[in-house]
A and B are shown apart, each in its own frame.
Chain A
Amino acid sequence: GNSVTQMEGPVTLSEEAFLTINCTYTATGYPSLFWYVQYPGEGLQLLLKATKADDKGSNKGFEATYRKETTSFHLEKGSVQVSDSAVYFCAKGSQGNLIFGKGTKLSVKP
């Protein structure tokens, strides 16, 4: 199939904890990969992206590396903050026709 699979949430962490949200994809070819973040009541915001194998996207302390051999694009952050509480979506595709994962809700407690 043609899909994106994310680890199910919710994920609850304490402030300053290490975050990993797993994402794997199936595809033919080499799609662009994205992480989006959705804060409550808001639209999605692009967090980071990678367009080819071994690319590392990074933004606001978040990182993800395009791993062709494992078809993965796991999201990581070394030290989360309460303000990182949101729903995170992994996506693949191009030209706006993206396939999204179901989202992972992250709650960070003080």
Chain B
Amino acid sequence: NAGVMQNPRHLVRRRGQEARLRCSPMKGHSHVYWYRQLPEEGLKFMVYLQKENIIDESGMPKERFSAEFPKEGPSILRIQQVVRGDSAAYFCASSPPTGEWAEAFFGQGTRLTVV
């Protein structure tokens, strides 16, 4: 049973480009969460999704950021027109249908560098 898979592990984008980060939850998990970790900081909650639904997006920046978790396929975090301040590690976590956070697992993260 593979864990939470994120890809790519490392992503370099020039300012103004788009970044697409993918997260495949653990098998049987239907809840996905995205977090951002800035250098020397703790993780900041961004968004919580279930299949085809955004449950809580209170941590998402109002502009340029969007997330989806389609019926089929991975969850996608999209950042449009990236800026240097978007450089961070982005972590995805998934939890089972019970929604019990204590049973959630994190992926290894995608490290985005904007040059």
Within A38-52, which residues are at the interface with B (CB < 8 Å)?
A: 41-46, 49, 51
Tell me how many residues of A have a C-beta within 8 Å of chain B: 24
What residue of chain A has the Cβ atom nearest to residue B42's Cβ?
A100
A70: Cβ under 8 A from any B Cβ: no
Tell me how many residues of B have a C-beta within 8 Å of chain A: 26
> What number of A-B contacts does a CB cutoff of 8 Å give?
64
Residue contact A43 to B42, C-beta cutoff 8 Å: no
B48: Cβ under 8 A from any A Cβ: yes
What residue of chain A has the Cβ atom nearest to residue B38's Cβ?
A102
Render B29-58 as a binary contact track against A, CB cut-off 8 A, 1 for contact.
Answer: 001010000001111110010000000101
Q: Which residues of B contact A103 (CB under 8 A)?
A: 41-42
A26: Cβ under 8 A from any B Cβ: no
Question: Which A residues contact B (CB, under 8 angstroms)?
Answer: 4, 32, 34, 41-46, 49, 51, 89, 91, 93-103
